[in-house]
């Protein structure tokens, strides 16, 4: 079967079960199977696909029809122009999180602490973009840290990125170090919101990274309370938030003595990132 026919068949299968943007996903999977860049797939569509590759593609389409995320099928996800290893043990990096990276890069920094680093995409992107910086990523999940280690080594950032197991600030509690920048994309989905999530997220991403099994604000309380103890004077805290959480998290930041909280909106106009600053001495 020619590539174009195989692509059309795969797209139709995904469309029939209601997968969002089935054509895009079918193209990504076919490009993955053929080992060609997605942007150049069109050049290969008139050619015949080897039978064994056709079988692999059809299996991937079947799994995508079961709402397994494309990144879990390919093992890769692009984030801020770089490719990251992604597994079911980490959150799938999302374009919205790139807004946090943009905000972080808007002001110079030398050191960064990434709380709940997951795949490491935020920490490693920041370090890759700023060659004179170093940072620490913490995560309670050792499985997630294994993914972050792989991504760190693939980007050749071993000398500048430390990855430590533990809950939030615990791995750096005994360090005589404060950071210019703290970043986090914590679990902010309330327990009552979990049933309404898309199956790709609800059924295939790590629950620990999605929800605190409560009101979705538990992590922010911990992060806000410890921020001043770990930030340099004038240092910044950047948090990804849910679209209804800005007011509550801003109040926490004020209560913790942080200054000038700023809400950054995503392209749809929703609250997406909160930035606050530690007071100068």
**Residue 171 DSSP symbol:** G
Average predicted confidence (pLDDT) for the chain = 94
pLDDT band at 131 (very low <50, low <70, confident <90, very high): very high
For the stretch 9-39, what's the b/e string if a residue is b when 16 or more beta carbons lie within 10 angstroms of its beta carbon? ebbebbeeeebeebeebbbbbbbbbbeeeee
What pLDDT was estimated at residue 266?
Answer: 87
Over the stretch 74-98, which tens digit does the pLDDT of each residue have?
A: 998 999 999 999 999 999 998 899 9
- Its CATH class, for the domain covering 3-66, is mainly alpha
Higher pLDDT, 213 or 175: 213
> CATH number of 91-277: 1.10.3720.10, 3.40.50.150, 3.30.450.20, 3.60.15.10?
3.40.50.150
Spatial distance between the Cα atoms of 72 and 158, rounded to a whole number of angstroms: 25
For the chain, the structural domain boundaries read 3-66, 91-277
> What pTM, to 2 d.p., does this model score?
0.89
């Amino acid at each position: 079967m020619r590539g174009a026919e195989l692509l059309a068949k795969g797209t139709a299968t995904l469309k029939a079960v209601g997968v969002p943007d089935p054509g895009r996903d079918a193209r990504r999977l076919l490009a993955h199977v053929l080992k060609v860049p997605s942007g150049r797939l069109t050049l290969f569509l008139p050619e015949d696909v080897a039978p064994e590759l056709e079988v692999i593609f059809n299996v991937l389409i079947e799994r995508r029809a079961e709402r397994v995320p494309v990144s879990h099928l390919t093992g890769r996800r692009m984030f801020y122009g770089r490719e990251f290893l992604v597994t079911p043990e980490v959150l799938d990096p999302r374009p919205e999180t790139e807004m946090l990276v943009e905000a972080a890069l808007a002001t110079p920094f030398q050191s960064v602490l990434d709380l709940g680093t997951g795949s490491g995409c935020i920490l490693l992107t920041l370090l890759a973009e700023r060659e004179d910086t170093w940072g620490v990523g913490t995560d309670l999940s050792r499985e997630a840290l294994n993914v972050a280690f792989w991504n760190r080594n693939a980007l050749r950032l071993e000398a500048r990125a430390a990855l430590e197991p533990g809950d939030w600030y615990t791995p750096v509690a005994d360090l005589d170090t404060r950071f210019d920048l703290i970043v986090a994309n914590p679990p902010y989905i309330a327990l009552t919101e979990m049933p309404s999530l898309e199956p790709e997220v609800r059924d295939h991403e790590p629950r620990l990274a999605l929800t605190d099994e409560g009101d979705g604000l538990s992590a922010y309380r911990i992060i806000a309370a410890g921020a001043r103890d770990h930030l340099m004077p004038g240092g910044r805290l950047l948090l990804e938030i849910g679209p209804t959480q800005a007011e509550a998290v801003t109040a926490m930041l004020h209560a913790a003595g942080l200054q000038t909280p700023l809400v950054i909106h995503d392209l749809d106009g929703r609250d997406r990132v909160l930035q606050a600053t530690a007071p100068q001495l």
